[in-house]
Amino acid sequence: MVKYTRNKNLYISLNRGDNFSDRLILFLLHFAFFLKNFKRKENKKLLQDLYDYIFRQLELSIREIGYGDQSINKKMKDYLNHFHHMVSEIHFWDNLEKKEKNKTISFFLEDFKKTDELVDYFNQFDEDLSKKNLNSFSKSVINE
């Protein structure tokens, strides 16, 4: 998912240079689509472990940036709430019209000018995920 987030084409429509927050929001959007596609009973433990790992790494990254303990707790709470809102919105992605998808993307990525392109990108990403199985993503990670 980090590889998808590093796609420079995603940042073309950004009003300013990309930053940690923009990259994180794009990463969390990718992760929300990932969960949407692979959320099944048989995947529950693996997805929970992945979720825990991702947010533990996020917390470590925030610590490395130099935030204090109180700031870290507040930032993590904000990021978790933001992510859970994303998950609830992305859950209904397939039922939304393009205008509603634009509104959803604009809500999470308000500094991006051309949300149409991002909607098209995430439509394609969602379709690509639906053609794969969870093992195709986790195989190399679990074996390391």
pLDDT (tens, 9 = 90+) of the chain, 144 residues, equals 777 887 777 777 666 566 778 788 889 999 999 999 999 888 889 899 999 999 999 998 888 888 777 888 888 898 999 999 999 999 999 999 999 999 999 999 887 777 888 899 999 999 999 988 887 776 544 444
Q: In whole angstroms, give the CA distance from residue 39 to residue 48.
A: 10
Amino acid letter, 130: S
Task: Quote the pTM value.
Answer: 0.85
Q: In whole angstroms, give the CA distance from residue 85 to residue 9.
A: 25
Q: In whole angstroms, give the CA distance from residue 132 to residue 144.
A: 21
pLDDT at 15: 60
Q: Which of 111, 104, 115, 112 is nearest to 33 (CA)?
A: 104
Are 87 and 70 spatial neighbours (Cβ–Cβ below 8 Å)? no
Q: In whole angstroms, give the CA distance from residue 71 to residue 83.
A: 18
pLDDT at 142: 43
pLDDT at 13: 64
